[in-house]
């Protein structure tokens, strides 16, 4: 009997119209990925009943937990994942298109399927919402994105929900594609990395009802938090003083392929945090080499014209997300 191989595995996604319910007709996208930890788990509860000797009774079933991380490269044709992480998207233009993602009042839920086509086994997860998104912004190499999902139920089958998913292609951004980093509206050239830029949706994962077969009935969203740590070469006190004085700042990171207008091979993505403050963390001396300053930050919404703690703008050839 053949063993399933990760190299032959496939992940497809599609937005649900109704939470925890299959879309009316298959129209899924295939997602290039490098790991998918989405799975179903169910605890067993050990019985404490006394039966006259030391042997235990049969364990009982606990609630079902569906969740795990989908890890992908930052690329130009995974817009549905960004919509799932933030909630709202507005599309303008006409080939190329501009998709502007912002924090919405609610999050869409996705149907996600792991497919093992070499042995005809498929695991479908309904009611999947993004609990958090973490992005590592580095000077070189692929930029890794981790979408941590929480879901409602798992169904197995011997055929895919969508046997002909749409392949939007793969155009990845690497560190060399970072055209601009702006801090406080001014281009800055001494940033080494922005570690763990994280968007958390604080989903309420305890929505289990009596008679619900151990499945989540809802996944309400909580307050959004956007955090990260900026690491820069220690050249002066400019950034550190902003942190000490609790001065409002902003961050904008723009990745550009080619001309960045959005046509094929010229895609662009921009991450804008309009309002944030840094936490002071004085530079440490860890050895004889160059000194860095690491400044954690927390974003917020006060009076920014964007109306969103985080705004992502994607330019590509995709007509709709």
- Domains of the chain, by residue range, sit at 6-39+62-316
Closest CA to 227 of 292, 283, 281, 276: 276
| Model confidence band, residue 221 (pLDDT cutoffs 50, 70, 90) | very high
Q: How many CB atoms lie within 10 A of CB 123?
A: 17
At 37-62, the pLDDT tens digits run: 999 998 888 888 888 888 888 888 88
196/190 Cα distance (integer angstroms):
18
Q: What is the mean pLDDT of residues 167-172?
A: 93
Q: Is the pLDDT of residue 67 over 90?
A: yes
* Per-residue b or e along 157-181, where b marks 16 or more CB atoms closer than 10 Å to that residue's CB: eeebbbeebeebeebbbbeebbeeb
| Model confidence band, residue 287 (pLDDT cutoffs 50, 70, 90) | confident
Of all residues in the chain, what percent carry a pLDDT higher than 90?
Answer: 77
- What element of type H or E holds 66? strand 60-73
The percent helix, strand, coil of the chain (3-state, each to 5) is 5, 45, 45
Closest CA to 125 of 203, 202, 68, 167: 68
266 with 257: CB under 8 angstroms?
A: yes
Instruction: Write down the pTM of the prediction.
Output: 0.93
| Model confidence band, residue 6 (pLDDT cutoffs 50, 70, 90) | confident
Distance, CA of 161 to chain centre = 23
Q: At 147, list the tokens.
A: 């979408």
């Amino acid at each position: 009997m053949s063993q399933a191989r990760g190299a032959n595995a496939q992940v497809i996604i599609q937005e649900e119209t109704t939470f925890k319910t299959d879309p009316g007709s298959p129209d899924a996208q295939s997602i290039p990925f490098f790991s998918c930890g989405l799975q179903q788990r169910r605890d067993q509860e050990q019985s404490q009943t006394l039966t006259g000797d030391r042997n235990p009774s049969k364990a009982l079933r606990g609630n079902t937990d569906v969740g795990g991380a989908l890890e992908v490269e930052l690329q130009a044709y995974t817009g549905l994942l960004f919509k799932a992480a933030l909630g709202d998207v507005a599309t303008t233009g006409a080939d190329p298109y501009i998709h502007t993602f912002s924090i919405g009042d609610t999050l869409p839920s996705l149907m996600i399927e792991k497919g093992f086509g070499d042995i005809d086994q498929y695991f479908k997860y309904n009611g999947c919402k993004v609990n958090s998104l973490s992005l590592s912004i580095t000077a070189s190499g692929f930029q890794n994105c981790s979408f941590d999902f929480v879901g409602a139920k798992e169904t197995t089958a011997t055929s895919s929900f969508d046997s002909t998913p749409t392949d939007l292609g793969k155009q990845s951004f690497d560190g060399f594609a970072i055209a601009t980093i702006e801090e406080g509206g001014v281009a800055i050239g001494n940033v080494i990395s922005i570690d763990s830029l994280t968007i958390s949706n604080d989903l309420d994962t305890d929505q289990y009802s009596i008679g619900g077969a151990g499945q989540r009935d809802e996944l309400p969203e909580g307050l959004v938090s956007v955090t990260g740590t900026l690491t820069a070469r220690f050249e002066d006190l400019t950034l550190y003083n902003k942190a000490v004085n609790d001065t409002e700042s902003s961050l904008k990171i723009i990745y550009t392929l080619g001309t960045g207008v959005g046509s094929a091979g010229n895609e662009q993505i921009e991450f804008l945090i309009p309002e944030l403050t840094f936490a002071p963390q004085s530079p440490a001396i860890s050895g004889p080499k160059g000194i860095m300053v690491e400044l954690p930050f927390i974003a917020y919404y006060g009076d920014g014209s964007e109306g969103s703690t985080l705004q992502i703008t994607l330019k590509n050839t995709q007509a709709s997300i």
